Amino acid sequence: MRHIISILLENEPGALSRVVGLFSQRNFNIETLNVAPTEEPSLSRLTVTTVGDDRVIEQITKHLNKLIDVVKLVDLTEGNHIERELMLVKVKALGAARDEVKRTADIFRAQIVDVTPSVYTVQITGDGGKLDAFVQAMAPIGILEVARTGVSGIARGDKLLSL
């Protein structure tokens, strides 16, 4: 099963490489990885999506917790949560395809954020599934480039991941 693990990490040099190294060292898989500072300057928040059975996920969370730089973590998939990813897609936009791209973008509530005579750059947010669907829909028209941020997530309601 796919899991989304969010981690508060000390904002220290080498901390990220310890997390990433752990996954390769122990043969755990990383599907997406997203990391950025938080409102608290000493902490980064890192979100990783991974796939594994219960035993593997238990090992992943235990080993992550063991890293000295990991302050706290939560497996968001254990409860209700919001999952978002942002994607920028460059598509060929020539002739009839220009309208087709625009229409499809509207259906997905995506925005065209940059335009040239031959290319549209579309921005779309949503969960991974929605982004995949958008890529599929655009594929016949001609995708030139895709940039995805990887999943970020947060628990619903009062639950917090904080110090």
Partner 1 sequence: MELLSGADMIARFLKDEGVERIYGYPGGAALHIYDALFRQDSVQHILVRHEQAATHAADGYARASGKPGVVLVTSGPGATNAVTGIATAYMDSIPMVVLCGQVASHLIGEDAFQETDIVGVTRPVVKHSFSIKHPSEIPEVLKKAFYLAATGRPGPVVVDIPKDMTAPTERYEYVYPKKVKIRSYNPVTRGHTGQIKKAVEMMLKARRPVFYTGGGIVTGRASEALTDLVQRLGFPITTTLMGIGGYPQGDRQSLGWLGMHGSYEANMAMHHADLIIAIGARFDDRVTNNTSKFCPTAKIVHVDIDPSSISKTVRADVPIVGAAGSVINEMISLLQARESAAPEALAEWWQSIDGWRAEREGKLYEPSKPGEALKPQEVIEAVYRATRGEAFVTTDVGQHQMFAAQYYKFAKPNRFITSGGLGTMGFGFPAAMGVKLSYPQDDVVCFTGEGSFQMMMQELSTCKQFGAGVKIVNLNNQSLGMVRQWQDLNYKSRHAHSYMESLPDFAKLIEAYGFTALKVETHEELAPALERAFADTNELVFLDIYVDPFEHVYPMQVPLGSMRDMLLSKTERT
Footprint of partner 1 (CB under 8 A) = 10, 13-14, 17-18, 21, 25, 55, 58-59, 62-63, 65-66, 68-72, 163
Which of helix, strand or coil describes residue 24? helix
Shortest CB 40 distance to partner 1, Å: 12
Nearer to partner 1, 22 or 144 (CB): 22
- Given a contact cutoff of 8 angstroms between Cβ atoms, the answer to whether 9 and 43 are in contact is yes
Pick 20 or 97: Cβ nearer partner 1:
20
Write down the least CB distance from residue 135 to partner 1, Å.
Answer: 35
Q: Nearer Cβ to partner 1, position 10 or 127?
A: 10
Q: Which segments of the chain are extended strands (E)?
A: 2-10, 32-37, 43-51, 70-75, 81-92, 111-115, 119-126, 143-148, 152-155
Q: End-to-end CA distance of the chain: give it in Å, rounded.
A: 28
Nearest by Cα to 155 from 67, 80, 58: 80
- In the complex with partner 1, the residue whose CB is nearer, 78 or 114, is 78
Could you tell me the smallest distance in angstroms from the CB atom of residue 66 to partner 1? 5
3-class DSSP assignment, residue 18: helix
- Residue 100 Cβ, how far from partner 1 at the closest point, in Å? 48
